[in-house]
């Protein structure tokens, strides 16, 4: 029997109906992380540097960040971290450490005891000659969900899991993402819609503050997705199939959200490369999209209704069918739906379309 994605200790009386079709059997397997019942929240933090171009990066900034995640008492350090980079739509180059902690308290202790917070708050950060950014997500466990195509290779927060689930029931149908979220059992998780009726967003596009610290306030039920792809272990036939069919439509979908996402309530999206933590060279076989939506419904709308995602989802179904649902390609995603006080976004010397700064644009 397929498992319920929501663990027993998070189940409660449901007032919001599920979308699972009756007598549903998923067309291919999917799995989710099972965390300890005593784990109340977690932290995903993206800490990085931004340069005008790739040539501006000398590696010093990201090395500094790597030193910080390796500092402090071992019990307070992140459970998992890796290095990642992207060239955004303005041609700016960002390189960052993405790190995970088992609780907000552990993360707060690490900030203090590693010296990171003192370093970050120093006015020297505004004089370093490049941008800095820090994006921190602190969901309670009922506001976080995962899904994986492969049960053997943990990614992201799954490095903190107690175990992986068996095959899921809530998987591979429209609405399954919401059905996996424990908070959605009795909460519609509605956010502040970004676009007004005339198609414009709130805020300013002025770059005048780009040399200063910019703190972006949290949004109610902000929806964040980190969706990864790893084709490093594919055999030649499957690799060619992925690169010829799946990867191009993925890139097109991420580009639409990056450049025109306001049409569907997407504040920001970038397709990041996982990079070697020593050489900082991109791993050409591991990527992930990291996107911010005004609420879960906007992410669902793009997923179900926009041609760019229909191409991705429909293409994957055909991809899996050609391989008889035996895939070496590894896919995962993490979805966060956050209260305002579960978000922290601060940018120093970054351009106005960086991350959640883009939420201010008109």
Q: Read off the tokens for 187.
A: 């909460």
Distances (CA, A) of 276 to 97, 273, 281, 290: 11, 10, 5, 19
12-59 pLDDT, tens digit per residue, is: 999 999 999 999 999 889 999 999 999 999 999 999 999 999 998 889
Q: Has residue 205 got a pLDDT over 80?
A: no
Per-residue pLDDT at 199: 37
Write 82-87 long-range contacts (CB < 8 A, 24+): 82/274, 82/277, 83/274, 83/275, 83/276, 83/277, 83/280, 84/272, 84/273, 84/274, 84/275, 84/288, 85/272, 85/273, 85/275, 85/280, 85/282, 86/270, 86/271, 86/272, 86/273, 87/54
160-172 pLDDT, tens digit per residue, is: 999 999 999 999 8
Distances (CA, A) of 252 to 32, 292, 350: 27, 17, 25
Per-residue pLDDT at 361: 55
Q: Has residue 318 got a pLDDT over 90?
A: no
**Of 284, 276, 342, residue with least CA distance to 66:** 276
> What distance in Å separates the CA atoms of residue 57 and residue 53, rounded to the nearest whole number?
8
Q: Has residue 200 got a pLDDT over 60?
A: no
Per-residue pLDDT at 80: 97
260-311 pLDDT, tens digit per residue, is: 999 999 999 999 999 988 888 877 799 999 999 999 999 999 999 999 998 9
Per-residue pLDDT at 207: 53
Q: Has residue 179 got a pLDDT over 80?
A: yes
3-state secondary structure of 284: strand
User: Is residue 258 very low, low, confident or very high in pLDDT (cuts 50, 70, 90)?
Assistant: very high
Q: Read off the tokens for 217.
A: 């306030």
Question: Considering 10, 309, 333, 351, which one is annotated as catalytic?
Answer: 333
Residue pair 4/20 in contact (Cβ under 8 Å)? The answer is no
> What distance in Å separates the CA atoms of residue 182 and residue 42, rounded to the nearest whole number?
15
208-229 pLDDT, tens digit per residue, is: 455 689 999 999 999 999 999 9
- Among 82-86, 253-257, 318-322, 357-361, the range scoring the smallest mean pLDDT is 357-361
Active-site residue flag, 333? yes
């Amino acid at each position: 029997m397929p498992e319920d994605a929501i663990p027993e200790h998070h189940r409660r009386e449901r007032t919001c109906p599920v979308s699972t079709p009756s007598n549903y059997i998923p067309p291919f397997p999917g799995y989710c992380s099972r965390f300890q019942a005593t784990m109340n929240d977690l932290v995903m933090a993206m800490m990085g540097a931004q340069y005008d171009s790739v040539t501006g990066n000398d590696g010093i900034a990201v090395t500094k960040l790597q030193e910080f995640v390796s500092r402090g008492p071992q019990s307070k350090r992140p459970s998992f971290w890796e290095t990642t980079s992207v060239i955004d739509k303005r041609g700016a180059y960002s390189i960052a450490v993405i790190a995970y902690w088992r609780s907000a308290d552990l993360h707060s202790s690490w900030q203090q005891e590693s010296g990171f917070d003192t370093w970050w708050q120093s006015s020297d950060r505004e004089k370093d000659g490049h941008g800095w950014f820090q994006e921190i997500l602190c969901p309670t466990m009922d506001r976080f969900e995962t899904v994986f195509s492969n049960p053997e290779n943990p990614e992201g927060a799954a490095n903190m899991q107690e175990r992986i689930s068996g095959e899921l029931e809530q998987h591979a149908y429209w609405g399954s993402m919401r059905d996996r979220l424990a908070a959605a059992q009795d909460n519609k998780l509605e956010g502040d819609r970004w676009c007004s009726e005339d198609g414009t967003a709130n805020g300013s596009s002025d770059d005048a503050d780009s040399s200063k610290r910019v703190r972006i306030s949290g949004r109610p039920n902000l929806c964040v997705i980190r969706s990864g792809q790893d084709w490093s272990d594919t055999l030649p036939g499957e690799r060619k199939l992925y690169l010829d069919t799946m990867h191009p439509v993925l890139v097109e979908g991420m580009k639409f959200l990056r450049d025109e996402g306001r049409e569907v309530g997407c504040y920001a999206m970038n397709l990041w490369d996982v990079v070697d933590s020593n050489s900082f060279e991109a791993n050409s076989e591991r990527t992930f999209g990291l996107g911010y939506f005004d609420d879960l419904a906007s992410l669902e709308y793009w997923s179900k209704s926009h041609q760019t995602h229909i191409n991705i989802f429909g293409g994957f179904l055909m991809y899996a069918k050609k391989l008889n649902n035996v895939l070496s390609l590894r896919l995962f995603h993490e979805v966060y739906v956050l209260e305002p006080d579960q978000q922290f976004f601060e940018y120093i010397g970054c351009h106005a379309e960086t991350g959640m700064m883009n939420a201010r644009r008109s």
